[in-house]
Amino acid sequence: MATDYYAVLGVRRDAGQDEIKKAFRRLARELHPDVNPDPKTQERFKEINAAYEVLSDPQKKQVYDLGGDPMSGAGGAGGAAGFGAGFGNFSDIMDAFFGTASQRGPRSRTRRGQDAMIRLEVELDEAAFGTTKDIQVDTAVVCNSCSGEGAAPGTSAQTCDMCRGRGEVSQVTRSFLGQVMTSRPCPQCQGFGTVVPTPCPECAGDGRVRSRRTLTVKIPAGVDNGTRIQLAGEGEVGPGGGPAGDLYVEIHELPHPVFQRRGDDLHCTVTIPMTAAALGTQCPLETLDGLEEVDIRPGTQSGQSIPLHQRGVTHLRSGGRGDLIVHVEVQTPGKLDAQQEDLLRQLAKLRGEERPSGHFQPGQQGLFSRLKDAFNGR
């Protein structure tokens, strides 16, 4: 063969169809007569057109690679010289100029449903140890009357007579490229290729209806605010009775009257009089595990913390639990009667604290004050 079609398109002899098509698109955009009217350019366009006609056809390409004449019986090489002859399908030239080809065929009436989300409030102990809860959800479900088909009982969908089941209609217009055929979704069947003459009265042809149902949700131990539990296939059923989406249950933990949660640790504050702090005592505390005695050792200072290990929230993805941290606040009496004041003066005299000088440290806060500021967002 006198003409090297691979060289014309600028590709290797072992190039695949994608590489050949990409090279042709690039050259077609540069050399098309309506874009570049130069006579030499027109001859060059005919060459790439003829080369693409051969190399894009597997049978012609095989004959060409074996040294035969791929155009024999097809009008000879001169048949490729006419405008568009090298485009086995007119969509090739549209693809070359606009980068995409139309999607053929009707679209399905059956589609996947959307995901749904519901907010669920839980108590602290439920979040700490896990629980099961019944929830009510209002979502789309398959229509029992038509089983998702959308047609009234005893009827069925019919092929659209406008597009004859293709889901699209075509229109021929003239442009600088000549006659151009464009396609668009069929306006009668909306691109489905079928029409439903008698829609189901229950779902109005959608194949689904809204219904309230009850689900049992297992809440794992250790969930926190914002944790989402996925229930696969429990969301909205899709149009046409399509597969359901997923349901997400978002956890909202209610405030506790005593404990504040920080991660998997729990914090609370116990206020004791200064005499109890000095002498030591035991304070009963209702924990998540039941009643326990918090041991206040003699000489406990305000701001000290007492950890109760393994009394916090269960770790969500591992074993064990967090801690319960009890913060101590020592309360100084604001009013004293004469006898109490006399006793305190005697104690101060015994301890040599009648006129204490104090110990000042610039800008330093106690532990309890820092914790209070952290809790208050300061």
Distance CA 273, CA 281 (A): 10
The CA-based angle 265-268-273, given to 5 degrees, is 150
Q: What are phi and psi of 254, to 5 degrees?
A: -75, 150
The answer to the question of whether 283 is labelled as a binding residue is: no
Longest dimension (CA), the chain: 127
Structure tokens at 305: 């913390």
Please report how many Cα atoms fall inside a 13 Å half-sphere around the Cα of residue 166, on the Cβ side. 13
- Sole residue written with tokens 């606040």: 329
Distance CA 124, CA 265 (A): 12
Cα–chain-centroid distance for residue 184?
A: 31
The answer to the question of whether 160 is labelled as a binding residue is: yes
Query: Is 178:83 a contact under the CB 8 Å cutoff?
Result: yes
The answer to the question of whether 186 is labelled as a binding residue is: yes
The answer to the question of whether 268 is labelled as a binding residue is: no
Q: What are phi and psi of 115, to 5 degrees?
A: -75, 155
The answer to the question of whether 163 is labelled as a binding residue is: yes
6: left (phi over 0), alpha (psi -120 to 50) or beta: alpha
Known binding residues: 143, 146, 160, 163, 186, 189, 200, 203
Question: What residues form the annotated binding site for Zn(2+)?
Answer: 143, 146, 160, 163, 186, 189, 200, 203
